[in-house]
Protein backbone atom coordinates (compact mmCIF):
# COMPACT_ATOMS: atom_id res chain seq x y z
CA UNK A 1 0.00 0.00 0.00
CA UNK A 2 2.74 2.39 0.72
CA UNK A 3 4.25 1.83 -2.68
CA UNK A 4 0.91 2.51 -4.27
CA UNK A 5 0.54 5.71 -2.27
CA UNK A 6 4.09 6.74 -3.16
CA UNK A 7 3.42 6.13 -6.85
CA UNK A 8 0.14 8.08 -6.63
CA UNK A 9 1.94 10.94 -4.87
CA UNK A 10 4.69 10.88 -7.50
CA UNK A 11 2.09 10.97 -10.29
CA UNK A 12 0.27 13.84 -8.60
CA UNK A 13 3.47 15.84 -8.12
CA UNK A 14 4.43 15.21 -11.77
CA UNK A 15 1.01 16.37 -12.91
CA UNK A 16 1.22 19.45 -10.70
CA UNK A 17 4.71 20.29 -11.95
CA UNK A 18 3.54 19.82 -15.56
CA UNK A 19 0.59 22.14 -14.93
CA UNK A 20 2.87 24.73 -13.33
CA UNK A 21 5.24 24.54 -16.29
CA UNK A 22 2.36 25.03 -18.71
CA UNK A 23 1.09 28.02 -16.71
CA UNK A 24 4.50 29.64 -16.57
CA UNK A 25 5.03 29.02 -20.28
CA UNK A 26 1.69 30.60 -21.10
CA UNK A 27 2.44 33.58 -18.80
CA UNK A 28 5.87 34.34 -20.23
CA UNK A 29 4.75 36.05 -23.47
CA UNK A 30 2.40 38.34 -21.56
CA UNK A 31 4.94 39.49 -18.97
CA UNK A 32 7.81 40.35 -21.32
CA UNK A 33 8.36 44.07 -22.01
CA UNK A 34 5.96 46.99 -22.11
CA UNK A 35 3.06 46.80 -24.50
CA UNK A 36 1.45 49.62 -26.41
CA UNK A 37 -1.58 49.33 -24.16
CA UNK A 38 0.63 49.97 -21.09
CA UNK A 39 2.06 53.03 -22.82
CA UNK A 40 -1.43 54.36 -23.68
CA UNK A 41 -2.61 53.81 -20.09
CA UNK A 42 0.44 55.70 -18.82
CA UNK A 43 -0.28 58.65 -21.16
CA UNK A 44 -3.94 58.82 -20.07
CA UNK A 45 -2.95 58.61 -16.41
CA UNK A 46 -0.49 61.48 -16.87
CA UNK A 47 -3.09 63.60 -18.65
CA UNK A 48 -5.60 62.83 -15.89
CA UNK A 49 -3.12 63.91 -13.20
CA UNK A 50 -2.32 67.16 -15.05
CA UNK A 51 -6.02 68.02 -15.40
CA UNK A 52 -6.61 67.11 -11.77
CA UNK A 53 -3.82 69.47 -10.67
CA UNK A 54 -5.20 72.19 -12.94
CA UNK A 55 -8.73 71.95 -11.52
CA UNK A 56 -7.44 71.84 -7.95
CA UNK A 57 -5.44 75.02 -8.60
CA UNK A 58 -8.50 76.69 -10.13
CA UNK A 59 -10.60 75.70 -7.12
CA UNK A 60 -8.01 77.02 -4.67
CA UNK A 61 -7.63 80.22 -6.70
CA UNK A 62 -11.38 80.85 -6.64
CA UNK A 63 -11.55 80.21 -2.89
CA UNK A 64 -8.65 82.58 -2.26
CA UNK A 65 -10.26 85.17 -4.53
CA UNK A 66 -13.50 84.90 -2.56
CA UNK A 67 -11.54 85.21 0.67
CA UNK A 68 -9.71 88.29 -0.61
CA UNK A 69 -13.00 89.98 -1.53
CA UNK A 70 -14.13 89.72 2.08
CA UNK A 71 -10.99 91.44 3.39
CA UNK A 72 -11.29 95.05 4.47
CA UNK A 73 -7.75 96.03 3.45
CA UNK A 74 -6.35 94.55 0.25
CA UNK A 75 -3.12 95.26 -1.62
CA UNK A 76 -4.03 95.61 -5.30
CA UNK A 77 -0.47 95.99 -6.51
CA UNK A 78 2.68 98.01 -6.39
CA UNK A 79 5.99 98.76 -7.97
CA UNK A 80 9.48 99.27 -6.58
CA UNK A 81 11.05 102.68 -7.08
CA UNK A 82 14.47 101.97 -5.68
CA UNK A 83 16.10 100.74 -2.52
CA UNK A 84 13.40 100.36 0.15
CA UNK A 85 10.96 102.60 -1.74
CA UNK A 86 7.78 101.65 -3.55
CA UNK A 87 4.32 102.81 -4.54
CA UNK A 88 1.38 100.63 -3.52
CA UNK A 89 -2.25 100.65 -4.61
CA UNK A 90 -4.40 99.65 -1.65
CA UNK A 91 -8.13 99.04 -1.41
CA UNK A 92 -9.54 100.01 1.97
CA UNK A 93 -13.23 99.23 2.09
CA UNK A 94 -14.70 101.10 -0.89
CA UNK A 95 -11.72 103.46 -1.29
CA UNK A 96 -8.60 103.11 -3.46
CA UNK A 97 -5.46 104.71 -2.07
CA UNK A 98 -2.08 105.27 -3.68
CA UNK A 99 0.53 105.07 -0.93
CA UNK A 100 4.25 105.78 -1.02
CA UNK A 101 6.32 103.43 1.11
CA UNK A 102 9.86 104.34 2.12
CA UNK A 103 11.25 105.45 5.46
CA UNK A 104 7.66 106.33 6.24
CA UNK A 105 4.28 105.63 4.66
CA UNK A 106 2.60 108.59 2.98
CA UNK A 107 -0.73 108.93 1.22
CA UNK A 108 -0.03 110.17 -2.29
CA UNK A 109 -3.53 110.19 -3.74
CA UNK A 110 -7.00 108.81 -3.22
CA UNK A 111 -8.78 107.66 -6.37
CA UNK A 112 -12.19 109.27 -6.20
CA UNK A 113 -13.27 108.96 -9.84
CA UNK A 114 -15.87 106.17 -9.91
CA UNK A 115 -15.06 105.12 -13.49
CA UNK A 116 -11.32 104.87 -12.79
CA UNK A 117 -12.08 102.96 -9.58
CA UNK A 118 -14.18 100.41 -11.48
CA UNK A 119 -11.59 100.06 -14.27
CA UNK A 120 -8.77 99.36 -11.83
CA UNK A 121 -10.78 96.78 -9.90
CA UNK A 122 -12.02 95.12 -13.10
CA UNK A 123 -8.45 94.82 -14.38
CA UNK A 124 -7.27 93.45 -11.04
CA UNK A 125 -10.07 90.85 -10.95
CA UNK A 126 -9.34 89.87 -14.55
CA UNK A 127 -5.67 89.28 -13.70
CA UNK A 128 -6.69 87.14 -10.73
CA UNK A 129 -8.96 85.04 -12.91
CA UNK A 130 -6.22 84.52 -15.51
CA UNK A 131 -3.59 83.21 -13.10
CA UNK A 132 -4.04 79.63 -14.24
CA UNK A 133 -5.75 79.66 -17.61
CA UNK A 134 -5.25 76.70 -19.96
CA UNK A 135 -5.50 79.02 -22.94
CA UNK A 136 -2.37 80.81 -21.74
CA UNK A 137 -0.53 77.52 -21.35
CA UNK A 138 -1.68 76.29 -24.76
CA UNK A 139 -0.75 79.63 -26.34
CA UNK A 140 2.74 79.48 -24.84
CA UNK A 141 3.24 75.92 -26.11
CA UNK A 142 2.03 76.93 -29.59
CA UNK A 143 4.40 79.92 -29.62
CA UNK A 144 7.35 77.73 -28.66
CA UNK A 145 6.49 75.19 -31.35
CA UNK A 146 5.93 77.84 -34.02
CA UNK A 147 9.14 79.65 -33.10
CA UNK A 148 11.09 76.41 -33.39
CA UNK A 149 9.59 75.84 -36.86
CA UNK A 150 10.23 79.41 -37.97
CA UNK A 151 13.81 79.45 -36.68
CA UNK A 152 15.34 77.95 -39.88
CA UNK A 153 13.60 80.62 -41.96
CA UNK A 154 15.04 83.31 -39.72
CA UNK A 155 18.52 81.82 -40.00
CA UNK A 156 18.26 81.73 -43.79
CA UNK A 157 17.06 85.30 -43.97
CA UNK A 158 19.81 86.34 -41.56
CA UNK A 159 22.50 84.68 -43.68
CA UNK A 160 21.11 86.31 -46.83
CA UNK A 161 20.92 89.68 -45.11
CA UNK A 162 24.46 89.26 -43.77
CA UNK A 163 25.88 88.43 -47.20
CA UNK A 164 24.11 91.42 -48.78
CA UNK A 165 25.39 93.73 -46.05
CA UNK A 166 28.94 92.41 -46.46
CA UNK A 167 28.75 92.95 -50.23
CA UNK A 168 27.49 96.50 -49.71
CA UNK A 169 30.25 97.29 -47.21
CA UNK A 170 32.96 95.83 -49.45
CA UNK A 171 31.73 97.85 -52.45
CA UNK A 172 31.68 101.05 -50.36
CA UNK A 173 35.19 100.29 -49.15
CA UNK A 174 36.43 99.78 -52.72
CA UNK A 175 34.86 103.07 -53.77
CA UNK A 176 36.50 104.93 -50.88
CA UNK A 177 39.86 103.30 -51.63
CA UNK A 178 39.53 104.37 -55.28
CA UNK A 179 38.76 107.93 -54.17
CA UNK A 180 41.82 107.92 -51.88
CA UNK A 181 44.06 106.58 -54.65
CA UNK A 182 42.81 109.28 -57.03
CA UNK A 183 43.52 111.94 -54.39
CA UNK A 184 47.02 110.55 -53.86
CA UNK A 185 47.68 110.53 -57.61
CA UNK A 186 46.29 114.05 -57.92
CA UNK A 187 48.42 115.34 -55.03
CA UNK A 188 51.56 113.57 -56.32
CA UNK A 189 51.04 115.09 -59.80
CA UNK A 190 50.68 118.56 -58.24
CA UNK A 191 53.91 118.09 -56.29
CA UNK A 192 55.85 117.31 -59.48
Per-run averaged pLDDT (10 residues), the chain, 192 residues:
60 66 54 83 95 87 65 83 88 88 89 87 79 62 73 68 88 92 80 64
Give domain status of residue 112, yes or no: yes
Is this prediction's pTM over 0.75?
no
Give domain status of residue 96, yes or no: yes
Q: What pLDDT is stored for residue 34 in this prediction?
A: 83
Q: What pLDDT is stored for residue 154 in this prediction?
A: 56
Burial tier of 83 (Cβ tally within 10 Å: 0-12, 13-18, 19+): exposed
Boundary residue ending a domain (62, 80, 105) = 62
* Domain range for 32: 2-62
Give domain status of residue 42, yes or no: yes
| Domain count for the chain | 3
Q: What pLDDT is stored for residue 117 in this prediction?
A: 86
- 115 vs 56, 112, 118, 120, 126, CA distance in Å? 35, 9, 5, 9, 16
The rounded distance, in Å, linking the Cα atoms of 85 and 62 is: 32
Give domain status of residue 45, yes or no: yes
Residues in contact with 98: Cβ distance below 8 Å, sequence separation at least 6, in sequence order: 87, 88, 89, 90, 107, 108, 109, 110, 111
Q: What pLDDT is stored for residue 51 in this prediction?
A: 92
In terms of domains, do 26 and 16 share one? yes
Give domain status of residue 179, yes or no: yes
Boundary residue ending a domain (43, 62, 81) = 62
Q: What pLDDT is stored for residue 27 in this prediction?
A: 46
In terms of domains, do 8 and 51 share one? yes
Amino acid sequence: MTTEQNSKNDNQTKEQSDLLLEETNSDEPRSIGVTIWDFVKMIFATIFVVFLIYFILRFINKRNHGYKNSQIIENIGGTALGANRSIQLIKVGKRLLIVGVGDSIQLIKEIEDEQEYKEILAEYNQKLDQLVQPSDIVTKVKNVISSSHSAPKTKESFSIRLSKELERISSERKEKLDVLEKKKKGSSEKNE
